Structure formats: C-alpha cells, structure tokens
Chain A
C-alpha cells in the first residue's frame, strides 16, 4: 500500500504551512492544477472586461458621427481592449491549460518549479490589476496596444497612461518568462519513463515550442518598453527624432517581439485541436511527426517575418521582398497542419460534442483568417489593406476564430478532468452556434469595410462613405457574441453546482490525463506510469489496435493509497486503475513516499513586491522601495524555507 506523506518541517525560517483550507489554500498553493484554475478564472474575468471594452467600441461605431464616447476615451478603450485580450486573456488562458494538462500528459506529479509557477500566476494577477487601475485613475493608456513612438513619448502623451502600460507589461512579462522556463524544464526533465519526445502529446509539444518563443521574444519587448519608459521619465532619446532617435526603431523592436507573440497566441490552441480531433474521430493524429515539426518550423520562421507589419513604412523594395518571401513561407507549415487535421477526420468515426464543435470551428475560421493573412503577404496590395478594417478582420479571425475557439475547445474538453463534472451539452452547443454566428456577423463585414477604405483606430466616421450599414451589422454581431458568453457562464455555474459526475475518461480519450480520476488527486499518479507508445492510454484500452510499437499488454490493477500528514493517516483513497509496470518509481511508491510539494506564501509576497516596485515609478519611489523590501523578504524566505522537512 502506498502512502502519501505530508512532511513535517524540522528546521524552518518560518514554520512551513502543512495543510491549508479555504482562501489561504489558494494563496499558498503550488499545485499546478490549482494554479491552472486560478489562471483560468482570472483570465476569464479579464476576458469579460476586454469584451465590455469591445462592446463599447462597437456601440460608438454603430452609427456615423456618433457622440456616445469621446475620442480620448475611445482611444483608451481600443488600447486596453487589445492589451487585455492579448496579455491578460489569450496568453493566460493558454497557460491555464499548460498548467493543468502538461504534467498530467507527461506522467509527472507537478511542474519542475512549483513555487515559480505560483509566482507566475501572482505576478499575472497583480500586474493585470495594476494595468487596469489606470482606468480607475482616469488615465488608461491611449497609444494603442502597439504603442508607436513618438506618439507615446511624454511630449505627445503627457499623462501617466503610457507609463501604466509600459510598466504593467514589463511586470507581466516576467511572469511569462518564468512560466516559459518552468515548462521547458518540466517537459524536458519530468517525463515519465518511456515518454520519449516523439511520444509526447501534441499539446505538450506546442507548450514546449511556445515556451521557447516566449524566451526569445519577450526580452525584445522588454528592451523596447524600458526604452520608452526611460525616454518618458529619464530624458533619453531612443525614439525622439530631434535628438537623434528613430521611431522606426520602436516599430522594429515591437514587431520582432510582436510577430512571434501572435504564434505564442495561436500555437496552444492548435495544440488543443491536435488533441481533440483524434479523440473525437477515434483515430490517431494523421502525420504526428509532421504536425510537430510544422509547429517547430512555424516558430523558427516566425522570427523572420516581422516587417510585414511595416510594409507601409518605406523599407524599400528589397526589404519588402524579403519579408514577402518569409511571410509566404510561414504559411506552408501552417497549411500542412490544417491538412493533417482534415486527414485525421477522414476515415474516422466522428462524434460532435461541444469540444469537437469548438475545434472544428477553429479549423474553419482559422482557414479564413490564414488566407486573409496570405493576402497581406502581397506587400503592394497590403499598402491598401494595412491599418484598415481588413486587418482588423484578419487578426480577429485568427485570434478569436482561432485562438478563442481553440481555447474554448480546451476548456470544454478538460473541464470534466479539472472539476470532476460534465458541462451541459445542449448549453454547450447553444454557446457554440451563437458564438460562431455572432463572430462571423461581427468580423466578416470588416473585410469589406477595409477594402472600402475604412481605417482602423478611428473613433468616428463620416456618413456617406458607404460604411454605415456594415458597421451597424458588426455591432449587432458583437452583442450576439456577448450573449453566447453568457450562455457559457451559465453552463459553467450550473456544472459546478449540479453537473453530472464525469468519471475518469468521459470522452474515451487517448492520452494519460484520462487514466486518472477526475478531479485528479493531489499527487496525480499513484504510480508513475511506464509509457509504451504514443497515445499510451488508448493503447492500454485497446492493446489490439496498436499501430506503433507497443510492449506487452498490461493488467489493470487497483491499489489502495493512504494519505498521511506528519505520520498520521488523514485519508484513504483508491488509486486510479493505472496498470503498474516496473519502473524506478515503483520501488519508491512501494515505500509509500510520494513527495508532494509543500505550499508556500513567498511567491505571493514576491509578486506583490514586484508589482509595487513597478508602480512606484509612477506613484512615488517610496512605493518602489517598499516593493524592493517585500521582494527581498519573499525571495529570502523562498530560498531558505525547508523542502519537505
């Protein structure tokens, strides 16, 4: 019988928390599953805020010459909408899924650095709150999510809004970087025995690729944000032309970050789709290796396309031609993934529960968005399209039609695993259809609005331009989308209160997370599995169906597991029916010593310290000093608190 031991601290800087309940449990958790839930809930709250910002934008644009929202507020709205959706919604929702799913898929008990994981979340929360505090102070940033200089310089933007923006993103960036390092080490080092890289689920592969993208892209934006911040506050001249600076420098730095960033936004959703389509077609992913290599190729090439955002800046025909070529090149591996998904469907036995509908929505909407992207690659015609509503249509098709649909697919797919309950299918389908229809009604017409000459970032427009009708239609679509989100919220609340129990494997899944209970126990796997092939759980369920190499069929065996804290038994639970095979950890398990990382409040304290450090540059350096003290205390405690007694 295996025993889970919560260790007793023998030496301590502070008495190490042992078991917490309630709010304090969440503040001190280092459990990847709980951190994933925190990420998901927080990101969804920001999604609602960003959505309201969008609805206000659409209300203002519903009719020409509208006076609902003044130009300054409008500029703040579109700045915050973009910044929120990218940094506070899509990225953290992806990280929520990374957190919950990746350790389970690789047969690990947690990530490599659980407290660093918690730190990433708390920085996300405090940084996101800090950024949105700018609304409360009446100085939300108004320079666009792309913050082009010199419009963001102090001379043209005297208030503190841009400082909020730059400092907020600098703080949030540390969370992303910490998370990226964490996941890379986790995926490389904590895979269960037999889980070779080419047996990894594609979602885990995409997590790895995205983490590398973050590591190489975020330092660039960090430099740019620091430069604009010290231009504004300490008199430097990086982007001030009169003193030798160059606004084009900002654009290059921003887009060298910005283009990999959009692949950071889309690859996790592509990973989700690569999980879901095989499960609900009951076939393996077609061309697994090619799909994986395509993801890697996309990541590499994504660093070479950035100036396609700058075709109108006068780079010259040679410069433009280079970026036309690389941009077209990146479309090839992207298309290959889509064809592989369709080939996965081909010859399958396809079911259509909500996660699958969302994944299919992703594929079809992403094809549209991807193709409009290819039209942008044609630089001369991009001179008409760029900075118009055609671009707004393109990136919403890939970011909402793509990333958001894909992330909802992941939410519906893994919800039973996280919560132990099912979401209602009828409500799910209603959500899907309302969202699909609303989305297309909103963004479809924007292709035409752009080609008909409507620029973006305009707080109002003249009647008689031929823009009236489609703007009104788009506004109506936006409210249909909003209704669909309300349906989802209702579904979620209902499921949590009285959803049907999910069981281990409600979807007849293929990967390891479906081999353990829902929700998983704190330690995930009572016995670390020994992996025999790709889609190992499917192999275990259907040993006669193997196409790849498989070891001998295993017997299913249940084991009883006792959970102990400090030598006292506090619970007893049935281990999942994962077959036990010889593995180095089995001996460890037989002695009943599964180490579950101890909770800690030092990540929480450090995160608050970091955010105060940043806030003080706007509100007073004494706050920065306070932040430094808190960070030192947090990091010191973190370093010296005992590990497992």
Chain B
C-alpha cells in the first residue's frame, strides 16, 4: 500500500533491521522504539540536534516577547471597550486629539523589544553559518530532482550514490551542498534543521550551491520533505535521515561502495534490460561515472532503503510490484514512464531482484 502511516517506520524499526546495526547499549528508551520515534515525526520542537534546538530556542524567545506584547495590547483594547462603552445619556466625550508623550513612549517601547529580539537574531545568523568546530563534518552532496532526492557521498567514503535515505553518523556535523537538476526545491528535515532552498546551479559555477549543516544527537530515523513548490508531486518528495553511531555508519558506507552481492543475478539483469529500466536507472554499481546525469535514482542498494518512489511508498514486495505495474497510477505525473508495460512475470522477477539488492 501507499505509505499509510508513519507507524510503518516504527514498526519497521522494531521489527528490527536497524536494530541489527545499532549495539543494544541502552540507547533506546523503552520498548523497541528508537528515541525520537513519535506521533509527530516532523515536529520542529522535537529537537534532533543542535541546529534545530538553536532555531527552536530563538523562536521561543521571540514567542514570549510577542505574547507579552499581545497581552498588554489586547488588555488595553478590551479594557477600553468595556470601560468606555456608551451608556444612555452619555455626553459627547472630550475631543482629545493626541498626546505626544504617549506617541513617543509607544514608539520607543516596541523598538526596544525589537532590538532585544533582533540582536540575538543577527548574532545567531552569523554563529549558525558554520557547524560547531572540533569534529570533522561529513560532507554530502544533495541533488534535488522532480520528485526524489539523490545523495552523493564523498570520495574518501567510496564516492557512492544513493537516494531517499540519507545515512549520517551521530555526533558529527553533517554538511550538505545542495543543487537541483531541474526546478527549485527545498530540503527540510524539520526535527534537525530549518530548510534551505535547492537551486539549479550551472556546472561552471559550483560555488553557487547552497549549503546547510546539522548534527544528530541520537540514532534514529528523521523524516524530511521538499518544502518549495516544485510541480505536480511536490507533496510526495520525501527523504529520511538515518542517524547511526559512527562505526555502524562507516560499515553501511562500506557496503554501499560495493555493488550489491546479488547485483549480477542474470535473471534479474535480463529483466532490467528488457523492461527498459536501464534508460534511467543504474543497478550494477553505486559509483557510476560522476559526469553521467541520473534520470532516476541509483538502484544498486534499493532493497535496503526505507521507501520507494521518492518517499511515496513503503519499501515492500507488494508496493514495488504496484509501482512497476503502473507508476502513473501511484504517483501521477512522475517522470518514470515505462517504455512498454511490464509483463507480470517480469514484474515478479524485478521485485525479487531489486528487493534482494541490500
């Protein structure tokens, strides 16, 4: 089925493939739920790391000042309405035209409040430009496509390419370089950071990519989504930040840099060719020619991803079969247009093959 609920994530986790990667060292709070798994996976106040906390704290400071202004203003407002409502026989009130002292006071007072809020705001703008020093950041290239996210990991980790799941190590900053292959997108993991827009950038001026950083305090899965209107399926362009302890992350990266053990399965590869998948997808390696533009996500390890179709579907046999049967029915407008409909047999072969690519 279409991803029906975020509980599928938690169920997935508790069923355990992520548990296999994380040493059971008391990192979980109760049951089998990862810390951070909750009923509000995109809550900007459920801070997953430093950046989100900084932004949330700044907001709360502003919020309390705004509340104070609101209370004072509305108290005066309602008090005036109550005290000075017309009663029978009221004479025409004194025709007061103004009072300079009041004007000065209620110009200066709000200005002061704004200065009090504005100074830390501007300080934070500069302070948050770079991640905290002391630990080498993980640098990942994020490429937005209509309507899926591509991630390219650095050469020192293997220079591999993946999609939809952004694995990161816990505790170290993650620095992202953002660019788009088509229209403007925006990368938003609400529990980890504010959003940063993702622009098409000419190859000749790579320094014009946007950058952002975050860090993650606890292992877990953190929901993310596109946040700049980018066309018909803007609402279904999701990603997941999968935070793991450093050694597990490195082990994952190591596996990602190699082709999947089952990638060379001849039956699967034959179906892949027959179906025309090779026109947009690469499946036999996760380190394709960097100059080769990907039309569709790299599928070298698609079996181990949390989702399919750019975060639209939970990754299971039934959903993959549905997707291969008719992508347009699942995600109308998707760029995945099959040259010819796949036979049921080919679909089953491909499902077995792709789901085996862990």
Contacts and interface: CB of A to CB of B under 8 A. Distances in A.
A572 interface: no
A548 interface: yes
A427 interface: no
Contacts of B7: 464
A290 B103 contact: yes
A570 interface: no
Indicate the size class of the contact surface on chain B: 35 or more
A286 interface: yes
A281 B55 contact: no
Nearest to B224: A453
A314 B197 CA distance: 7
A454 interface: yes
A332 interface: yes
Given A364-B74, A454-B42, A248 B55 contact: no
Nearest to A283: B93
Contacts of B228: 148, 312, 387
B42 A314 contact: no
A335 B84 contact: no
Contact of B96 (A241, A284, A456): A284
Interface in B21-65: 39-45, 52, 54-56, 58-59, 62-63
B95 to A, nearest CB: 5
A148 B229 contact: yes
B190 A335 contact: no
Contacts of A453: 40-44, 190-191, 223, 225
Given A288-B97, A321-B122, A452 B58 contact: no
A383 B195 contact: yes
A283 B95 contact: yes
Interface string A449-471: 00111111111111111100000
Interface in A549-607: none
A307 to B, nearest CB: 12
B227 interface: yes
Contact of B45 (A142, A345, A451): A451
The interface centre, meaning the residue of A142, A247, A381, A386 with most chain B CB atoms within 10 A of its CB, is: A381
Contacts of A386: 195, 227
Contacts of B4: 65, 462-464
B154 interface: no
Nearest to B195: A312
Contact of B84 (A350, A377, A458): A350
A384 B196 CA distance: 9
Nearest to B234: A457
Contact of A336 (B86, B103, B146, B196): B103
Interface stretch (B124-132, B165-173, B282-290, B340-348): B124-132
A150 B70 contact: no
Interface stretch (A105-113, A366-374, A406-414, A625-633): A366-374
Interface stretch (A10-18, A67-75, A119-127, A265-273): A67-75
Given A71-B232, A345-B77, 18 more contacts: A75-B229, A75-B232, A143-B229, A156-B146, A282-B93, A283-B94, A284-B97, A287-B97, A317-B126, A331-B114, A343-B102, A374-B62, A384-B44, A384-B59, A451-B43, A453-B40, A453-B190, A466-B40
10 contacts: A65-B2, A244-B202, A287-B99, A290-B98, A312-B186, A314-B199, A338-B73, A339-B102, A371-B66, A372-B66
Q: Which 3 pairs between the two chains have the least Cβ-Cβ distance?
A: A383-B194, A453-B42, A464-B6
Interface of A: 65, 70-72, 75, 142-144, 148-151, 156, 241-242, 244, 247-248, 281-284, 286-290, 312-314, 317, 320-321, 324-325, 328-329, 331-332, 335-336, 338-340, 342-343, 345-352, 360, 363-364, 367-368, 371-372, 374-375, 377-388, 451-466, 542, 545-548
